[in-house]
């Protein structure tokens, strides 16, 4: 399948540094040996873009990074994955957004994070019309623009005939939902995780929370649900899609990978449930290694995996 998808991934671009496997933080100034330290491109825009590129999309990064060595490394890693980085603005007064993730033996990964240049992005930095043949706009981190500005951007994308999607970076909180509410009526696909949905809405169940977000304006809410897979909710549809049975190494970037697989599935003409299966299958590739850029898969590999691999009971 080669259906053309040209997507602008707008917003959060991060350089992740992963440290494996960390059972505890050394006391005082003591040190400890670990298995692996590696860097990977990440973020609700950057990480999703990397995986979309592997799935055959033409990906254009739009965001803000620092004019610093971390930014050089991040841009280089994105370019290595085939992304067009010409629309990333470089800030001289802000460092590049970065995280350090001590990954535990079970795959959990707490994080230290610097917001950096991601917090400086404005509509003046974003020129959707400059992307030739644009079919899709994915906004990662609407909270950095704020609801009115994010809504304006997504409305413009729709006027251009583009599909729109949104993934939120911050934890779920009712005040944050109020902050980004203006963008939801312009969002075709909202792609949060389960903790965000329950935190945004205060709902007693994931389905109830997703329905509340649909009622707030989102066309479809596709929620990642950890080891349970994903839940897809629209005004008249509910579909639960199980995760795949795999050996988890690191869950960093799994949400971004799900978003990429789900959106790519839709671009190929898949229905919502089949697109969510492709999302879960894509996340499974990432979870078996370290970082969002783990693996050497392509679209054909993930499609085959989605059809043949065992799902969790």
CATH code, domain with 165:
3.40.1190.20
The residues with which 98 forms a beta bridge, in sequence order, are 15, 114
Q: Which residue has the higher pLDDT, 40 or 290?
A: 40
Cα(first)–Cα(last) distance of the chain, in Å? 30
Structure tokens at 104: 């535990």
pLDDT at 1: 44
Give the contacts of 184 (CB within 8 A, at least 6 positions apart): 166, 190, 213, 216, 217, 218
Q: Which residue has the higher pLDDT, 109 or 145?
A: 145
Residues 203/191, Cβ–Cβ less than 8 Å: no
Is residue 96 included in any domain, yes or no? Answer: yes
Name the catalytic one among 16, 58, 256, 293.
Answer: 256
Which residue carries 């960093």 as its tokens?
A: 252
- With vertex at residue 221, the alpha carbon angle to CA 142 and CA 197, rounded to the nearest 5 degrees, is 70
Residues 55/261, Cβ–Cβ less than 8 Å: yes
Is residue 1 included in any domain, yes or no? Answer: no
Residue 202, pLDDT > 80, answer yes
**Is there a catalytic annotation at residue 182?**
no
- The 10s digit of each residue's pLDDT in 45-89 is 999 999 999 999 999 999 999 999 999 999 999 999 999 999 999
Q: Which residue has the higher pLDDT, 250 or 309?
A: 309
Is residue 280 included in any domain, yes or no? Answer: yes
Residue 79: domain span: 6-308
Is residue 222 included in any domain, yes or no? Answer: yes
Is residue 220 included in any domain, yes or no? Answer: yes
Is residue 232 included in any domain, yes or no? Answer: yes
Is residue 137 included in any domain, yes or no? Answer: yes
State the total domains in the chain: 1
């Amino acid at each position: 399948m080669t259906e053309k998808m040209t997507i602008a991934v707008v917003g959060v671009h991060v350089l992740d540094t992963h440290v494996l496997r960390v059972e505890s933080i050394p006391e005082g100034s003591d040190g400890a040996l670990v298995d692996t330290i590696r860097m990977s491109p990440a973020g609700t825009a950057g990480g999703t873009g990397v995986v979309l590129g592997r799935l055959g999309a033409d990906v254009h990064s739009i965001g803000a990074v620092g004019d610093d060595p971390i930014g050089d490394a991040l841009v280089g890693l994105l370019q290595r994955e085939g992304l067009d980085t010409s629309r990333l603005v470089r800030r001289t007064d802000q460092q590049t957004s970065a995280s350090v993730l001590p990954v535990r033996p079970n795959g959990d990964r707490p994080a230290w994070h610097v917001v950096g240049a991601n917090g400086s992005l404005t509509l003046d930095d974003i020129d959707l019309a400059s992307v030739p043949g644009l079919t899709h706009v994915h906004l990662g981190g609407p909270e950095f623009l704020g609801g009115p500005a994010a809504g304006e951007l997504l409305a413009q994308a729709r006027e251009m005939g583009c599909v729109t999607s949104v993934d939120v970076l911050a934890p779920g909180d009712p005040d944050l939902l109020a902050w980004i509410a203006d963008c939801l009526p312009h969002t075709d696909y909202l792609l949060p995780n389960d903790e965000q949905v329950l935190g945004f809405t205060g709902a007693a169940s994931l389905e109830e929370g997703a329905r509340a977000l649909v009622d707030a304006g989102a066309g479809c809410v596709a929620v990642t649900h950890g080891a349970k897979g994903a839940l897809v909710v629209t005004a008249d549809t509910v579909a639960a899609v199980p995760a795949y049975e795999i050996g988890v190494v690191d869950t960093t970037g799994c949400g971004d990978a799900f978003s990429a697989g789900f959106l790519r599935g839709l671009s190929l003409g898949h229905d919502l449930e089949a697109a969510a299966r492709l999302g879960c299958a894509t996340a499974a590739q990432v979870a078996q290694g370290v970082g969002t850029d783990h693996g050497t898969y392509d679209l054909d590999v993930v499609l085959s995996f989605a059809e043949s691999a065992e799902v969790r009971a």
